């Protein structure tokens, strides 16, 4: 299979290219890092890249929480306009399989259970609560303390920042393409991906990269809130393997299917910082109480659908992955 990998020179994309090549597929890299003219927003460049392609693995995106709404236009341009140009080009070229780098951010907060009201969806956290150190969302009906759980793909979408909004729009665009062309669309809703080649020293990097950058400078990782935020940290090679499974899977035409892509083992942000500090031999993390207003408290995945339907299993444990990541380039 000849597969166009947008963002194929980037963090996740480069691992996808390696996984495809190892399986005997031909990977075609489309990335501005390799070629300044390879802009997914340019119809002519996209048309040339799609020539002779059997499928597309769409990894190119502007990621991370960013700077509030100041960079909203950049997110919409790179993520949504780029995806629109890509699917339009695929429709014209007759390419009928697309795997999208989706994200768990489309859910907003994760799943919560109230002892009185069952499963509830708390609203966005208020700055006054966060300033006072009240980080845990409460039941929207009775104010009771909630128990966080894992979120499944059928949970309603509730994007709570600009990046999350653009990731949900990408899915809608792919779904529209699939319906109109009979194509097969799969969105892998990545959880917190980490591993070798992760970007450093940028506000758009993930928390694992920010912690490792601090440790490389000899500084203590600064952990926001109280460090008890729950996340699912999944290794980049496992994510690349999920992309390979999605590209090779049998799927119904004319649909978009979403799959949570996480390790299935939740860890707190504080645990992540502590594991990296220990692996790097660096300073102990410092819990600061700071926060980002567009962030969510807990979001962890139920990835059983991906395992059951595509036969995917994560292979890298949190402990092994953190030791490798501490010394990775």
Q: Which residues are catalytic?
A: 163
Query: Do the Cβ atoms of 276 and 212 come closer than 8 Å?
Result: yes
- Number of residues written out for the chain: 329
Q: How far apart are CA 116 and CA 139, in angstroms?
A: 9
Tokens 């444990």 map to which residue?
317
Q: Tell me, letter by letter, the H, E, C secondary structure of 100-160.
A: EEEEHHHHCCCEEEECCCEEECCCCCCHHHHHCCCCCCECCCCCCECEEECECCCCCCCCC
Q: Please list the helix, strand and coil fractions of the chain in percent, rounded to the nearest 5, in that order.
A: 35, 20, 45
Q: How far apart are CA 293 and CA 278, in angstroms?
A: 29
Provide the phi-psi class of 228: left if phi over 0, else alpha when psi is between -120 and 50, else beta.
alpha
Query: Do the Cβ atoms of 286 and 215 come closer than 8 Å?
Result: no
């Amino acid at each position: 299979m000849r597969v166009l990998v947008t963002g194929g020179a980037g963090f996740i994309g480069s691992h996808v290219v390696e996984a495809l090549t190892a399986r005997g597929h031909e990977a075609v890299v489309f990335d501005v890092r390799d070629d300044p003219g390879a802009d997914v927003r340019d119809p002519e460049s996209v048309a040339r890249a799609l020539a002779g392609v059997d499928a597309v693995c769409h990894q190119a995106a502007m990621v991370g929480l960013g700077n509030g709404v100041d960079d909203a236009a950049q997110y919409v341009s790179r993520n949504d306009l780029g995806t629109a140009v890509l699917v339009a080009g695929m429709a014209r070229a007759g390419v009928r399989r697309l795997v999208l780098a989706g994200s768990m951010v489309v859910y907003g907060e994760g799943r919560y259970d109230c002892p009185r009201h069952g499963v509830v969806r708390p609203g966005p956290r208020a700055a006054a609560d966060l300033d006072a150190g009240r980080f845990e969302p409460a039941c929207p009906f009775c104010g009771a303390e909630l128990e966080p759980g894992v979120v499944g793909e059928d949970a309603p979408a509730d994007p709570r920042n600009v990046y999350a909004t653009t990731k949900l729009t990408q899915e809608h665009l792919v779904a529209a393409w699939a319906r109109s062309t009979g194509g097969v669309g799969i969105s892998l809703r990545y959880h917190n991906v980490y591993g070798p080649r992760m970007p450093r020293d940028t506000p758009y990097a993930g928390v694992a990269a920010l912690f490792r950058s601090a440790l490389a400078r000899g500084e203590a990782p600064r952990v926001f809130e109280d460090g008890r935020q729950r996340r699912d940290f999944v290794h980049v090679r496992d994510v690349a393997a999920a992309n390979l499974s999605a590209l090779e899977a049998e799927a119904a035409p004319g649909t978009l299917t979403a799959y949570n892509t996480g390790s299935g083992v939740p860890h707190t942000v504080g645990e992540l910082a502590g594991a990296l500090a220990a692996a790097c031999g660096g300073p102990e993390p410092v819990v600061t109480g700071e926060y980002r207003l567009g962030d969510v408290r807990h979001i962890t995945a139920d990835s059983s659908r991906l395992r059951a339907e595509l036969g995917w299993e994560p292979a890298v444990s949190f402990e092994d992955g953190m030791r490798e990541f501490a010394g990775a380039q």
